Amino acid sequence: MSSLTIFNQLEISHYIYLSTVLFSIGLFGVLFRRNAIILLMCIELMLNAVNLLFVAFSSYMGDSDGQIFVFFIMVVAAAEAAVGLAILVLVYRNTRKTDVSVLDNLKG
Amino acid sequence: MLEWIIVLPLLGFLINGLFGSIFPKSIVGWLGTAFVFGSFVATCFLFRDLLTSLPGEGSVYLRVFTFLNVGNFHVDIAFQFDRLSAIMALIITGIGTLIHLYSISYMADDAGLYKFFSFLNLFIFNMLVLVLGSNFMMMFFGWEGVGLCSYLLIGFWYKNVSFGKAARKAFIMNRIGDLGLLMGLFLIYQNFGSFEYTEVFAKVGRLEVGTEICTAIALLLFIGAMGKSAQIPLFTWLPDAMAGPTPVSALIHAATMVTAGIYLVVRCEAIYALAPFAREVIMWIGLATSLMAALIGLKQNDIKKVLAYSTVSQLGFMFIALGCGAYTAALFHVITHAFFKALLFLGAGSVIHGMHHEQDIRQMGGLRKKMPITYLTFLIGTLAITGFPMLSGFFSKDEIFTAILSHNRLVFILGLLSAFITVFYTFRMFFVTFHGTYRNHHHSFEKVHESPLLMTLPLLILAVLSVIGGAVNFPNYMGEGISGGLHHLLSFDGGGRFSPILIFPEQSFEISHAQEWLLAALTPLFLTIFVVVRNKYLVKAAVPEADADQVGLGKVLANKFYVDESYDRSFVEPIELVSDTLTEYVDEKAFKSSFDGIGRANQYFGSLLSRVQNGNIEYYLVYMVVGLCLLLAFNLF
Amino acid sequence: MNLPIPFLILSFLTILSALYVVTSKSPVHSVLALIFTFFTISAHYVLLNAQFLAVVNLIVYAGAIMVLFLFVLMLLNLSKEIEPIKSNAWAIAATISAGSILLMITAAFQVFGEAVAKNPVEGIGLVKALGNVLFTRFLVPFELTGILFLAAMVGAVLLGKREKKPTELSTNETINP
């Protein structure tokens, strides 16, 4: 079978549903969990949901720009993970906790 | 050249005002004087050009820039140097220079010396704008500017509360007059479509507007003149204005600013010529002011107050002359009055200086031995103001009375009465101050001293001017060649843009021989009064009573006819009552509580909302998601 | 509806492992589940003919980023930490929020997603094709990502560095402040 067969068997809406569900799961995690590491992981999950959507659109439309964007998103995600984890380490060093609810000094 | 006349005092103001505090004191005064003197020299050169130039030339017009340009409404910052403004500018800069010179010594000990000189220079600048401006707007700018300077200088010793109040009083009284002036200006623009003197008066000259409009404009402008030139009912600020330093009284409240009203009327001669009713009003108000001020002057014991009331009285004479249509005579009296009244004020300043800031004439006496120069010059000033023959005041008053006599007999008699009272109170002040015995117990007679040369020199110059000042406009019987100089100057019609000053030729005031004899018979009357005063205050050495000891009519006069009190009753107190009521009930209770309520409600809701921002990221995340949902929902549905 | 079997299986595994990431009590388990999720997503990429991204996804996400997470977990020794469980109210709020976002995005795609033209082209997911685009049209952004990485690296190093304890003042300084 040709490598393009999948596009005949499957509508793009299925990928949309899949990535929306993934995104919502990630969002739920961000809202529900308190551990900062899990929060960061959930953010990665959400980013991946978006990536999946990008790739799906790119493939269905035959336009490679979407995949380039995914590439850039990965770059940003990597940088974000590095800095985010560094901040996390610093927070842990000062408070001995990774609980985000500890960080409530910025209030009016 | 014209620009230098105006710019120099402004420069003086800026330099002294900005850097005066770091200059040494000795420089500040000379600097201020030099700028005004430079302005005077420039004026002299321009005036010479004006006199020697061919007909139609010599007047200078200088347009600096367009100040306002809205639709059809144009106002230029522009100046014109014509025969009328030339005379005024000469008085302002000339006498201004002398008074600056005098102030160097008089104010030498004052901490705010640089402020004083910068204000004086600013005043000269504004006064020059007033008289040299080429349209009504420029005149208005100067008009307000001199009002401001007057306020600043009356309240120069602002630490004294009553002086500050006097300054405010002068300013507010002037504002009332300014309202009339402004309305007059509005009417002028509405009817002539321009503020330029040349355009407005050309239209008046062609009789393009009716008498009613002219009368309305004339009356409104006169209200402005009332405020500035201290006429009934707006005269009470001038005596209070004596709170300022004496040179200020001499320059602003005797020689220059208060004559701005006369300048205004002379400038608008064309309008007043078409408004006989307005002139009638001016004449009667001038007469009433002159009489009233003279009567009050009879019982004043403060040397400056006497002079202030005499100024009001003399201004009244000028307005009587204007009311009779004798513009030349009025302007002539402005000039001579500037000489001798500045002289008297500066002389009074010299006395005050020598007496260590004592102003009450009852505390003086016998000063002629200690202050010979002041005594002599003061005598000349006194003689000039009372109209002693062949001195300047004689000629100008003579012209005024000639005009009155040919106009209205009753006014003539009453005006004459006022002039005789002038003789009485001026000599009373003179004798009590300089003759008799010394009566002050605070300072010994030895401590009284003559003023330094810097102060006596202006006195001497002004004394000379007071003697020969009549030469400006000798009457016809003095000889053909030298008489009527001012009259020719004002009526001179050589074509050109700015001549003649008087659009409608001034009527000549011819009087019969019998009337001339009548005038001549006045001299013995004058002498009689002189003898009476001399008898009372010199021979019998009577000392005026204190204000509190006055009885009967004297008490009324000493209290200035209770004018201030009645103004307080009828205007100030009701307004204060209304304001207090409003403050207490509307402001305090209604507004304050409602605004406080609004504030408290805001604080309450704010405190509710501030709980939303609790610093916890989790809550923020929820808010963000909810916001995102709402955003999507709005976009979808 | 005849959906291809590989897609169904992969989707099922993806959602399942993602749910495990969110609900697992142990952070280490979460990380491992997330890595598994990335693998399934890479498989989706292969299905979608995005071969290059499938490999990069594995290398960058599963390889680099998740290893970083594991490192941090072990560095801080957090694997045993018991996370305080949020109240039921929070669970309900989170569920409602996430659910409404799901609803909204789905609705949004119902409106706008139909407009997608189906025009698959073979080979756009290969390194050659992507490289062509990346180094021509997206050259400047590509270089900028390099700067971004540099900045992130510097930032991470600076943040992670142990602060020096303030040195004690010498006697001279105490006398002459």
How many beta carbons lie within 10 A of that of residue B24, not counting itself?
Answer: 6
DSSP result, B362-402: GG---TTTT-HHHHHHHHHHHHHHHT-TTSHHHHHHHHHHH
B553 Cβ contact list (under 8 Å, min separation 6): none
For chain B, the domains span 275-558, 562-636
**pLDDT classification of C175: cutoffs 50, 70, 90:** very low
CA A108 to chain C, closest CA, distance in angstroms equals 23
Separation of alpha carbons B371 and C120, rounded Å: 118
Is pLDDT at B478 greater than 70 in this prediction? no
Q: Pick the more confident residue, B368 or B295.
A: B295
Residue range of the domain that includes A91: 34-99
Give the pLDDT confidence score for residue C170 in this predicted structure: 44
Are the beta carbons of B629 and C98 separated by less than 8 Å? Answer: no
R_g (Cα) of chain B, nearest Å: 29
Give the pLDDT confidence score for residue B178 in this predicted structure: 92
Q: Which two tokens stand for residue B390?
A: 């062949």
> Which chain B residue shows the shortest CA-CA distance from C105?
B632
Give the pLDDT confidence score for residue C164 in this predicted structure: 66
Three-class HEC string of B34-70: HHHHHHHHHHHHHHHHHHHCCCCCCCEEEEEEEEEEE
CA C110 to chain B, closest CA, distance in angstroms equals 10
Is pLDDT at B438 greater than 90 in this prediction? no
| CA separation, residue B161 to residues A28, B147, B357, B454 (Å) | 75, 20, 18, 31
Is residue C105 within 8 Å of residue A23, measured between CB atoms?
A: yes
Are the beta carbons of A17 and C106 separated by less than 8 Å? Answer: yes
Is pLDDT at C115 greater than 70 in this prediction? no
Give the pLDDT confidence score for residue A1 in this predicted structure: 41
With respect to residue A25, please indicate whether it lies within any of the assigned structural domains: no
Is pLDDT at B343 greater than 70 in this prediction? yes
The residues in C 37-76 lying below 8 A from B, measured between CB atoms, are none
**pLDDT classification of A27: cutoffs 50, 70, 90:** very high
Helices and strands of chain A, counted as H and E runs: 4, 0
Give the pLDDT confidence score for residue B619 in this predicted structure: 83
R_g (Cα) of chain A, nearest Å: 18
Is pLDDT at C84 greater than 80 in this prediction? no
Segment among A44-58, B111-125, B486-500 with least mean pLDDT: B486-500
Is pLDDT at B485 greater than 80 in this prediction? no
Mean pLDDT for all residues in chain C? 83
Mean per-residue pLDDT, B303-331:
91
Give the pLDDT confidence score for residue B300 in this predicted structure: 86
Contacts A105 to B, Cβ<8 Å:
615
Segment among A8-12, B19-23, B104-108, B293-297 with least mean pLDDT: A8-12
Separation of alpha carbons A22 and A30, rounded Å: 12
Mean per-residue pLDDT, B219-237:
90
User: Mutation test of the interface with chain A: which of C16, C51, C69, C122, choosing the one with the most A Cβ atoms within 10 A?
Assistant: C69
Q: Pick the more confident residue, B537 or C145.
A: C145
Contacts B617 to C, Cβ<8 Å:
none
Per-residue pLDDT tens over the stretch B372-429: 899 999 999 999 998 887 888 888 888 888 888 888 888 888 998 898 888 888 988 8
Give the pLDDT confidence score for residue B58 in this predicted structure: 65
Q: What subunits touch chain A, counting only 3 or more CB pairs under 8 A?
A: B, C
Separation of alpha carbons B282 and B574, rounded Å: 30
| CA separation, residue B265 to residues B188, B229, B298, B328 (Å) | 14, 11, 29, 11
Please state which CATH class domain C1-81 belongs to: mainly alpha
CATH label of the domain that carries residue A81 = 1.10.287.3510
Are the beta carbons of A30 and B613 separated by less than 8 Å? Answer: no
Separation of alpha carbons C37 and C47, rounded Å: 15
| Torsion on CA atoms C85, C87, C92, C93, rounded to nearest 10 | -90
CA B622 to chain C, closest CA, distance in angstroms equals 7
**pLDDT classification of B622: cutoffs 50, 70, 90:** confident
**pLDDT classification of C171: cutoffs 50, 70, 90:** very low
**pLDDT classification of B56: cutoffs 50, 70, 90:** low
From A27, A100, A108, residue closest to B617, measured CB to CB: A100
Are the beta carbons of B616 and A27 separated by less than 8 Å? Answer: no
Give the pLDDT confidence score for residue A61 in this predicted structure: 86
Mean per-residue pLDDT, C78-96:
75
Q: Mapping DSSP to helix (H, G, I), strand (E, B) and coil, where does residue B474 land? A: strand
Per-residue pLDDT tens over the stretch B456-473: 999 999 999 999 888 888
B430 Cβ contact list (under 8 Å, min separation 6): B378, B379, B382
Is pLDDT at C176 greater than 50 in this prediction? no
Q: What letter represents residue B469's amino acid?
A: G
Is pLDDT at C106 greater than 90 in this prediction? no
Per-residue pLDDT tens over the stretch B101-155: 999 999 888 888 889 999 999 999 999 999 999 889 999 999 999 999 999 999 9
Q: How many domains does chain A have?
A: 1
**pLDDT classification of B491: cutoffs 50, 70, 90:** confident
Q: What letter represents residue B399's amino acid?
A: E
Give the pLDDT confidence score for residue B55 in this predicted structure: 62
Instruction: Check if B635 contacts C (Cβ < 8 Å).
Output: yes
Is residue B437 within 8 Å of residue B365, measured between CB atoms?
A: yes
Mean per-residue pLDDT, C35-60:
92
Are the beta carbons of C93 and B622 separated by less than 8 Å? Answer: yes
Give the pLDDT confidence score for residue B534 in this predicted structure: 80
From B625, B626, B632, residue closest to C108, measured CB to CB: B632
Separation of alpha carbons B488 and B494, rounded Å: 11
CA B608 to chain C, closest CA, distance in angstroms equals 21
Separation of alpha carbons B139 and B379, rounded Å: 36
> Which chain B residue shows the shortest CA-CA distance from C86?
B618
Segment among B62-76, B147-161, B375-389, C162-176 with least mean pLDDT: C162-176
Q: Which residues of C13-26 are buried (b: 16+ CB within 10 A; e: fewer)?
A: ebbebbbbbbebeb
With respect to residue A62, please indicate whether it lies within any of the assigned structural domains: yes
With respect to residue A20, please indicate whether it lies within any of the assigned structural domains: no
Q: Mapping DSSP to helix (H, G, I), strand (E, B) and coil, where does residue B146 land? A: helix
Is pLDDT at B354 greater than 90 in this prediction? no
- φ/ψ (deg, to 5) at B37: -65, -40
Q: Pick the more confident residue, B548 or C10.
A: C10
Separation of alpha carbons B615 and B107, rounded Å: 67
Separation of alpha carbons C68 and B281, rounded Å: 102
Is pLDDT at B589 greater than 90 in this prediction? no
Three-class HEC string of B64-113: EEEEEEECCEEEEEEEEECHHHHHHHHHHHHHHHHHHHHHHHHCCCCCCH
Is pLDDT at B364 greater than 50 in this prediction? yes
How many beta carbons lie within 10 A of that of residue B467, not counting itself?
Answer: 19
Smallest CA-to-CA distance from B163 within B346, B258, B28, B304 is with: B304
Give the pLDDT confidence score for residue B244 in this predicted structure: 87
**pLDDT classification of B360: cutoffs 50, 70, 90:** confident
Are the beta carbons of C21 and A92 separated by less than 8 Å? Answer: no
Separation of alpha carbons A38 and B337, rounded Å: 98
> Which chain B residue shows the shortest CA-CA distance from C108?
B636
Contacts B636 to C, Cβ<8 Å:
104, 107-108, 111
Is pLDDT at C79 greater than 70 in this prediction? no
Per-residue pLDDT tens over the stretch C134-144: 999 999 999 99
DSSP 8-state class, residue C117 = -
Give the pLDDT confidence score for residue B480 in this predicted structure: 63
Q: What percent of chain B has pLDDT over 70?
A: 95
State the count of interchain CB pairs (< 8 A) between A and C. Answer: 241
- Of B91-105, B354-368, C102-116, which has the strongest mean pLDDT? B91-105
